[in-house]
């Protein structure tokens, strides 16, 4: 390891250099505090042997400067018996230990070994924590496909930044897992990760949950309450399905993002919002903006860095890995002996289009494990929708002998197409829109115009 010796006495520097070399480490010497700081700015040091009595900048000042710039390097201070109190102050400021002059060589060696052992242990702990973060960050986002690896790369690049992140993807693709991975890789990893279920509560209750309230702010507010922005202090706050937030709440959220501050409902005190905002949606926010349902300024505030999570059907090569992961997890949870998925069942899983994405696959495997009595997941354990997926067939049009109204015929044909697409997609409008090669909003308008619901009978 690299050991920096800082002492204005050449004889002592020579002695300490010899002791450092004796231990198999690399000594570097400085005769003043200023020189020591220059060396530390250019070289990575593991240990500093620092004399407190230096000409010019004192050893105490050097210690304080080191601690400001590098909190990891270990420091042993060297002092005269008459300045033991100063050495104790140095330890309070971050020194590992002190050695009093005149010192015994063995004392220097033992103290140095202890400091370097702590240095090694700290480095190992940092590495283990990083490995744990890596494992916690990505272990539930499974896949080797190019599309999911691109998501991993974006997480690694974007997480350390301070920018807001918008995660896009269909329902069930794992957007919250991506948000948690971003948090785990960020500088806020040791802070809380708070999830806001944006569309599951009324506007007034949502604002109370976000910003908190003071006693008497409204009927039932019998005491002060902290909001999620306060609870997430120093960490990340994740807005799930942010496209569903009411417009009034959007305006208040925009102010928090711009000013980094907020007030509790009914309060007058301004509080700091020390949080990183990550949002997700399966809606097309640009279309929501055009419809007047989402603020354009909030959209651009959120859309700094965008991560698109691919649908499961877009990364079918990952299905065997994901299915096997769920099989092992639920077999252990339910104390079942299932160890593998038979080839025919795996083929069905790969061929199915999974409108509900990873969540639907997870439910299918869990159901199979619970219903199983053997050691292999067979085709008969899969849901009927997976075993016998509905086919999408284009209806044929025929011309009656007495002719027909062109407008009525086109309308009837449209209706047949849409109803069959809905049936083939299990009622999932987004999937039906993909089958028909139209936008989901276009399909919605067509269904509205033709009075079609997901439950309309097939022609």
Shared-domain flag, residues 19 and 83: yes
Nearest to 358 by CA among 143, 150, 147: 143
Residue 40 has pLDDT above 80, yes or no: yes
**For the chain, what is the domain count?**
4
What CATH number corresponds to the domain at position 417? 1.10.10
Shared-domain flag, residues 205 and 301: yes
Q: Say what the pLDDT of residue 202 is.
A: 74
Whether 371 maps to a domain, the answer reads yes
Whether 133 maps to a domain, the answer reads no
Residue 370 has pLDDT above 90, yes or no: yes
Shared-domain flag, residues 208 and 277: yes
User: What is the residue-wise DSSP string for 117-138?
Assistant: HHHHHHHHHHHHHHHHHHHHHH
Shared-domain flag, residues 64 and 169: no
What CATH number corresponds to the domain at position 303? 3.40.50.300
Shared-domain flag, residues 149 and 279: yes
Q: Which two tokens stand for residue 244?
A: 């569903």
Mean of the per-residue pLDDT values of the chain: 85
Q: Say what the pLDDT of residue 188 is.
A: 92
Residue 71 has pLDDT above 80, yes or no: no
Shared-domain flag, residues 318 and 300: no
Whether 155 maps to a domain, the answer reads yes
Whether 136 maps to a domain, the answer reads no
Angle between helices 406-424 and 440-449 (to 10 degrees): 120
Residue 82 has pLDDT above 60, yes or no: no
Shared-domain flag, residues 299 and 330: no
Shared-domain flag, residues 371 and 332: yes
Which neighbouring-strand residues pair with 99? 78
Q: Domain of 416?
A: 391-459
Shared-domain flag, residues 157 and 269: yes
pTM: 0.58
What would the pLDDT profile of 198-254 be if each residue is shown by its tens digit?
Answer: 766 777 788 888 988 888 888 777 888 888 999 999 999 999 989 989 898 899 999
Answer whether 299's CB lies under 8 Å from 164's CB.
Answer: no
What would the pLDDT profile of 255-306 be if each residue is shown by its tens digit?
Answer: 999 999 998 888 888 899 899 999 999 988 999 999 999 999 999 999 999 9
Spatial distance between the Cα atoms of 205 and 259, rounded to a whole number of angstroms: 23
* Bridge-based pairing state of the strands 376-377 and 225-226: unpaired
Residue 135 has pLDDT above 50, yes or no: no
């Amino acid at each position: 390891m690299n050991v920096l010796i800082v002492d204005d006495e050449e004889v002592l520097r020579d002695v300490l250099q010899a002791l450092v070399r004796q231990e198999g480490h690399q000594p570097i010497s400085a005769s003043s505090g200023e020189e020591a700081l220059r060396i530390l700015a250019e070289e990575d040091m593991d240990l500093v042997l620092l004399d407190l009595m230096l000409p010019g900048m004192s050893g105490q000042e050097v210690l304080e400067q080191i601690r400001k710039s590098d909190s990891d390097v270990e420091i042993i201070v060297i002092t005269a018996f008459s300045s033991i109190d100063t050495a104790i102050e140095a330890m309070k400021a971050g020194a590992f230990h002190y050695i009093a002059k005149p010192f015994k060589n063995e004392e220097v060696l033992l103290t140095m070994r202890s400091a370097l052992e702590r240095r090694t242990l700290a480095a190992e702990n940092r590495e283990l924590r990083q490995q744990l973060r890596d494992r916690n960050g990505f272990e539930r986002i499974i896949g080797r496909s190019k599309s999911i690896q691109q998501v991993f790369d974006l997480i690694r690049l974007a997480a350390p930044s301070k920018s807001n992140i918008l995660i896009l993807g269909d329902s069930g693709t794992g957007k919250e897992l991506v948000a948690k991975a971003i948090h785990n890789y960020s500088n806020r990893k040791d802070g809380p990760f708070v999830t806001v279920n944006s569309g599951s509560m009324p506007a007034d209750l949502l604002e109370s949950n976000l910003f908190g309230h003071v006693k008497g702010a409204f009927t039932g507010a019998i005491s002060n309450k902290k909001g999620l922005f306060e609870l997430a202090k120093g960490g990340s706050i994740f807005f799930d399905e942010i496209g569903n937030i009411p417009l009034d709440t959007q305006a208040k959220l925009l102010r928090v993002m711009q000013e980094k501050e907020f007030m509790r409902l009914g309060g007058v005190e301004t509080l700091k919002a020390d949080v990183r905002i990550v949002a997700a949606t399966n809606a097309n926010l640009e279309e929501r903006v055009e419809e007047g349902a989402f603020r354009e300024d909030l959209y651009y505030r959120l859309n700094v860095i965008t991560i698109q999570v691919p649908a499961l059907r877009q990364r079918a090569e990952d299905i065997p890995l994901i299915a096997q992961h769920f099989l092992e997890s639920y077999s252990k949870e339910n104390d079942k002996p299932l160890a593998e998925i038979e080839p025919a069942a795996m083929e069905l899983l790969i061929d199915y289009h999974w409108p509900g994405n990873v969540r639907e696959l997870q439910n299918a495997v869990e159901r199979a494990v619970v219903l199983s009595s053997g050691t292999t997941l067979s085709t008969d354990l899969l849901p009927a929708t997976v075993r016998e997926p509905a086919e999408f067939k284009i209806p044929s049009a025929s011309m009656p002998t007495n002719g027909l109204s062109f407008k009525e015929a086109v309308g009837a044909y449209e209706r047949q197409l849409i109803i069959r697409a809905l049936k083939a997609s299990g009622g999932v409008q987004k999937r039906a829109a993909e089958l028909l090669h139209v936008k989901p909003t276009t399909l919605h308008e067509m269904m509205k115009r033709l009075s079609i619901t997901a439950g309309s009978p097939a022609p």
